[in-house]
A and B are shown apart, each in its own frame.
Chain A
Amino acid sequence: EIVMTQSPATLSVFPGERATLSCRASQSVRTNLAWYQQKPGQAPRLLIYGASTRATGIPARFSGSGSGTEFTLTISSLQSEDVAVYYCQQFNDWPPLTFGGGTKVEIK
Protein backbone atom coordinates (compact mmCIF):
# COMPACT_ATOMS: atom_id res chain seq x y z
CA GLU A 1 0.00 0.00 0.00
CA ILE A 2 1.26 3.46 -0.91
CA VAL A 3 1.21 5.79 2.09
CA MET A 4 0.59 9.47 1.41
CA THR A 5 1.90 12.02 3.90
CA GLN A 6 0.88 15.67 3.85
CA SER A 7 2.56 18.61 5.53
CA PRO A 8 2.07 20.80 7.36
CA ALA A 9 -1.05 19.68 9.19
CA THR A 10 -2.16 23.31 9.48
CA LEU A 11 -1.04 26.29 7.43
CA SER A 12 -1.84 29.91 8.37
CA VAL A 13 -1.38 32.44 5.59
CA PHE A 14 -2.17 36.14 5.21
CA PRO A 15 -4.77 37.01 2.59
CA GLY A 16 -3.10 37.59 -0.76
CA GLU A 17 -0.01 35.62 0.24
CA ARG A 18 1.16 32.33 -1.23
CA ALA A 19 0.24 29.02 0.36
CA THR A 20 2.41 25.98 -0.33
CA LEU A 21 1.16 22.53 0.62
CA SER A 22 3.24 19.36 0.38
CA CYS A 23 2.37 15.75 -0.28
CA ARG A 24 4.83 12.87 -0.17
CA ALA A 25 4.29 9.31 -1.38
CA SER A 26 5.99 6.29 0.20
CA GLN A 27 6.94 5.11 -3.30
CA SER A 28 6.77 6.64 -6.74
CA VAL A 29 3.31 7.43 -8.05
CA ARG A 30 4.75 9.06 -11.20
CA THR A 31 2.27 11.91 -11.84
CA ASN A 32 -0.85 9.95 -10.90
CA LEU A 33 -1.85 12.31 -8.15
CA ALA A 34 -4.93 14.40 -7.47
CA TRP A 35 -5.71 17.21 -5.05
CA TYR A 36 -9.07 17.95 -3.45
CA GLN A 37 -10.48 20.83 -1.46
CA GLN A 38 -13.00 20.23 1.30
CA LYS A 39 -14.80 23.09 2.97
CA PRO A 40 -16.61 22.57 6.30
CA GLY A 41 -19.83 20.63 5.89
CA GLN A 42 -19.24 19.96 2.21
CA ALA A 43 -18.08 17.09 0.08
CA PRO A 44 -14.57 17.29 -1.34
CA ARG A 45 -14.07 19.00 -4.69
CA LEU A 46 -11.51 18.01 -7.30
CA LEU A 47 -8.87 20.68 -7.87
CA ILE A 48 -5.98 19.03 -9.71
CA TYR A 49 -5.35 15.70 -11.42
CA GLY A 50 -2.31 14.27 -13.14
CA ALA A 51 -0.31 16.24 -10.57
CA SER A 52 -0.65 19.51 -12.46
CA THR A 53 -3.86 19.68 -14.55
CA ARG A 54 -6.54 21.92 -13.10
CA ALA A 55 -10.04 20.49 -13.11
CA THR A 56 -12.83 22.31 -14.89
CA GLY A 57 -13.72 25.62 -13.28
CA ILE A 58 -10.80 25.73 -10.88
CA PRO A 59 -9.24 29.20 -10.58
CA ALA A 60 -5.76 29.73 -11.98
CA ARG A 61 -4.40 30.64 -8.53
CA PHE A 62 -4.39 26.89 -7.80
CA SER A 63 -1.47 25.01 -9.29
CA GLY A 64 0.08 21.59 -8.79
CA SER A 65 3.56 20.33 -9.42
CA GLY A 66 5.80 17.38 -8.74
CA SER A 67 6.36 13.81 -9.79
CA GLY A 68 7.55 10.58 -8.27
CA THR A 69 7.26 10.98 -4.52
CA GLU A 70 7.15 14.75 -3.94
CA PHE A 71 4.23 16.97 -4.84
CA THR A 72 3.16 20.53 -4.16
CA LEU A 73 -0.14 22.36 -4.28
CA THR A 74 0.29 26.12 -4.47
CA ILE A 75 -2.35 28.76 -3.93
CA SER A 76 -0.68 31.82 -5.39
CA SER A 77 -2.77 34.46 -3.62
CA LEU A 78 -4.89 33.14 -0.78
CA GLN A 79 -8.52 34.25 -0.73
CA SER A 80 -10.92 33.93 2.18
CA GLU A 81 -12.93 31.35 0.26
CA ASP A 82 -9.86 29.10 0.08
CA VAL A 83 -10.10 28.28 3.78
CA ALA A 84 -10.51 24.50 3.70
CA VAL A 85 -8.79 21.18 4.18
CA TYR A 86 -6.79 19.98 1.20
CA TYR A 87 -6.15 16.31 0.43
CA CYS A 88 -3.85 14.58 -2.01
CA GLN A 89 -4.61 11.13 -3.42
CA GLN A 90 -2.58 8.69 -5.47
CA PHE A 91 -3.92 6.71 -8.43
CA ASN A 92 -0.75 4.96 -9.53
CA ASP A 93 -1.05 1.69 -7.65
CA TRP A 94 -4.51 0.60 -6.55
CA PRO A 95 -6.38 -0.77 -4.82
CA PRO A 96 -6.24 0.70 -2.31
CA LEU A 97 -6.75 4.27 -3.43
CA THR A 98 -4.96 6.17 -0.70
CA PHE A 99 -5.35 9.73 0.54
CA GLY A 100 -3.02 11.92 2.51
CA GLY A 101 -4.10 13.02 5.97
CA GLY A 102 -4.94 16.54 4.83
CA THR A 103 -3.65 20.08 5.34
CA LYS A 104 -5.92 22.65 6.93
CA VAL A 105 -5.47 26.12 5.44
CA GLU A 106 -6.42 29.07 7.62
CA ILE A 107 -6.35 32.83 7.23
CA LYS A 108 -3.75 34.53 9.44
Chain B
Amino acid sequence: DVQLVESGGGLIQPGGSLRLSCAASGLTVSSNYLTWVRQAPGKGLEWVSLIYSDGSTYYADSVKGQFTISRDNSKNMVYLQMNSLRAEDTAVYYCVRLQFDPSGFYFYFDYWGQGTLVAVSS
Protein backbone atom coordinates (compact mmCIF):
# COMPACT_ATOMS: atom_id res chain seq x y z
CA ASP B 1 0.00 0.00 0.00
CA VAL B 2 1.19 3.47 -0.86
CA GLN B 3 1.43 5.93 2.02
CA LEU B 4 2.59 9.51 2.08
CA VAL B 5 3.08 11.03 5.52
CA GLU B 6 3.82 14.71 5.92
CA SER B 7 5.49 16.34 8.88
CA GLY B 8 7.21 19.57 9.82
CA GLY B 9 4.28 21.96 9.94
CA GLY B 10 3.61 24.32 12.80
CA LEU B 11 3.29 27.94 13.87
CA ILE B 12 5.94 30.21 12.41
CA GLN B 13 6.43 33.96 12.48
CA PRO B 14 6.30 35.99 9.27
CA GLY B 15 9.67 35.97 7.55
CA GLY B 16 10.61 32.63 9.05
CA SER B 17 11.54 29.36 7.38
CA LEU B 18 10.18 25.86 7.65
CA ARG B 19 10.98 22.55 6.01
CA LEU B 20 8.20 20.11 5.35
CA SER B 21 8.94 16.43 4.95
CA CYS B 22 7.03 13.70 3.15
CA ALA B 23 7.86 10.12 4.03
CA ALA B 24 6.87 7.73 1.26
CA SER B 25 6.20 4.03 1.59
CA GLY B 26 4.95 1.63 -1.05
CA LEU B 27 6.57 3.71 -3.76
CA THR B 28 10.06 4.88 -4.65
CA VAL B 29 10.37 8.66 -4.73
CA SER B 30 13.12 8.56 -7.35
CA SER B 31 10.81 6.75 -9.79
CA ASN B 32 7.76 8.91 -9.28
CA TYR B 33 6.48 12.42 -9.82
CA LEU B 34 5.73 13.96 -6.45
CA THR B 35 4.07 17.25 -5.71
CA TRP B 36 3.00 19.57 -2.95
CA VAL B 37 -0.53 20.95 -2.94
CA ARG B 38 -1.80 23.41 -0.35
CA GLN B 39 -5.17 24.47 0.94
CA ALA B 40 -5.67 27.67 2.89
CA PRO B 41 -8.28 27.48 5.67
CA GLY B 42 -11.74 27.29 4.14
CA LYS B 43 -10.35 27.70 0.63
CA GLY B 44 -9.72 25.56 -2.43
CA LEU B 45 -6.72 23.55 -3.60
CA GLU B 46 -3.58 25.16 -4.97
CA TRP B 47 -0.74 23.28 -6.64
CA VAL B 48 2.61 24.44 -5.22
CA SER B 49 5.51 22.42 -6.57
CA LEU B 50 6.49 19.28 -8.47
CA ILE B 51 9.58 17.13 -8.73
CA TYR B 52 9.94 14.75 -11.63
CA SER B 53 11.64 11.37 -11.51
CA ASP B 54 14.57 12.90 -13.40
CA GLY B 55 14.90 15.54 -10.70
CA SER B 56 13.43 18.45 -12.66
CA THR B 57 11.47 20.82 -10.47
CA TYR B 58 8.59 23.20 -11.10
CA TYR B 59 6.85 25.82 -8.99
CA ALA B 60 3.71 27.88 -8.91
CA ASP B 61 4.43 31.55 -9.60
CA SER B 62 3.18 32.36 -6.10
CA VAL B 63 6.10 30.49 -4.48
CA LYS B 64 8.83 30.65 -7.12
CA GLY B 65 12.08 31.80 -5.57
CA GLN B 66 10.63 31.29 -2.09
CA PHE B 67 10.07 27.51 -1.87
CA THR B 68 12.38 24.68 -2.90
CA ILE B 69 11.34 21.09 -3.48
CA SER B 70 13.90 18.31 -3.12
CA ARG B 71 14.17 14.64 -2.32
CA ASP B 72 16.46 12.18 -0.59
CA ASN B 73 16.39 8.91 -2.48
CA SER B 74 18.23 7.04 0.28
CA LYS B 75 15.54 7.98 2.80
CA ASN B 76 12.66 7.84 0.29
CA MET B 77 11.63 11.32 1.36
CA VAL B 78 10.51 14.49 -0.37
CA TYR B 79 10.94 17.94 1.16
CA LEU B 80 9.59 21.43 0.75
CA GLN B 81 11.86 24.17 2.03
CA MET B 82 9.79 27.29 2.63
CA ASN B 83 11.54 30.62 3.22
CA SER B 84 10.37 34.18 3.85
CA LEU B 85 6.99 32.91 4.94
CA ARG B 86 4.00 35.22 4.77
CA ALA B 87 0.52 35.07 6.24
CA GLU B 88 -0.84 34.01 2.85
CA ASP B 89 1.28 30.84 2.99
CA THR B 90 -0.89 29.62 5.87
CA ALA B 91 -2.41 26.36 4.69
CA VAL B 92 -2.53 22.62 5.01
CA TYR B 93 0.22 21.24 2.79
CA TYR B 94 -0.37 17.89 1.12
CA CYS B 95 2.22 15.59 -0.41
CA VAL B 96 0.68 14.00 -3.50
CA ARG B 97 1.77 11.55 -6.17
CA LEU B 98 1.25 12.56 -9.79
CA GLN B 99 0.52 9.41 -11.74
CA PHE B 100 -0.26 8.66 -15.36
CA ASP B 101 -2.32 5.94 -16.94
CA PRO B 102 -0.75 3.15 -19.04
CA SER B 103 -1.27 5.13 -22.23
CA GLY B 104 0.88 7.89 -20.75
CA PHE B 105 -1.68 10.39 -21.90
CA TYR B 106 -3.79 10.97 -18.80
CA PHE B 107 -2.41 12.25 -15.56
CA TYR B 108 -3.95 12.50 -12.14
CA PHE B 109 -3.17 12.87 -8.44
CA ASP B 110 -3.84 9.45 -7.01
CA TYR B 111 -2.25 9.25 -3.55
CA TRP B 112 -2.52 12.08 -1.06
CA GLY B 113 -1.04 12.39 2.39
CA GLN B 114 -3.17 13.63 5.28
CA GLY B 115 -1.48 17.00 5.23
CA THR B 116 0.49 19.15 7.64
CA LEU B 117 -0.70 22.57 8.80
CA VAL B 118 1.55 25.59 8.41
CA ALA B 119 0.36 28.69 10.25
CA VAL B 120 2.24 31.92 9.65
CA SER B 121 1.41 34.46 12.31
CA SER B 122 3.04 36.78 14.79
Interface residues of B (CB under 8 A from A): 35, 44-47, 50, 58-61, 94, 98, 101, 105-110, 112-115
Return 21 A-B CB contacts under 8 Å, by A number. A32-B105, A32-B106, A43-B114, A44-B45, A44-B94, A46-B108, A46-B109, A46-B110, A50-B106, A50-B108, A53-B101, A55-B110, A91-B107, A94-B58, A95-B47, A95-B59, A96-B61, A97-B35, A97-B50, A99-B45, A100-B44
Q: Name the one of A34, A43, A53, A95 contacting B115, with C-beta atoms under 8 angstroms.
A: A43
Residues of B within 8 A of A95 (CB): 47, 50, 58-60
Q: Is the CB of B50 within 8 A of A91?
A: no
Residues of B within 8 A of A53 (CB): 101, 106
Residues of B within 8 A of A66 (CB): none
Q: Which residues A64-103 have CB closer than 8 A to chain B?
A: 87, 89, 91, 94-102
Residues of A within 8 A of B47 (CB): 95-99
A12 to B47, CA, bound (A): 28
Residues of B within 8 A of A101 (CB): 44
Does residue A45 face the partner (Cβ distance < 8 Å to B)? yes
Nearest residue (CB) in A for B107 is: A91
| A-B complex: 9 closest residue pairs judged by Cβ atoms | A49-B108, A50-B106, A43-B112, A91-B107, A97-B47, A95-B58, A34-B108, A99-B45, A102-B44
Q: Which residues A12-29 have CB closer than 8 A to chain B?
A: none
Residues of A within 8 A of B114 (CB): 42-43
Q: How many A-B residue pairs have CB under 8 A?
A: 65
A42 to chain B, nearest CB (A): 8
Q: How large is the interface on A (under 10, 10 to 19, 20 to 34, 35 or more residues)?
A: 20 to 34
Q: Is the CB of A89 within 8 A of B109?
A: yes
B95 to chain A, nearest CB (A): 10
Nearest residue (CB) in B for A31 is: B106
A53 to B100, CA, bound (A): 12
Nearest residue (CB) in B for A43 is: B112
A94 to B112, CA, bound (A): 19
A53 to B105, CA, bound (A): 13
Q: Is the CB of B46 within 8 A of A99?
A: yes
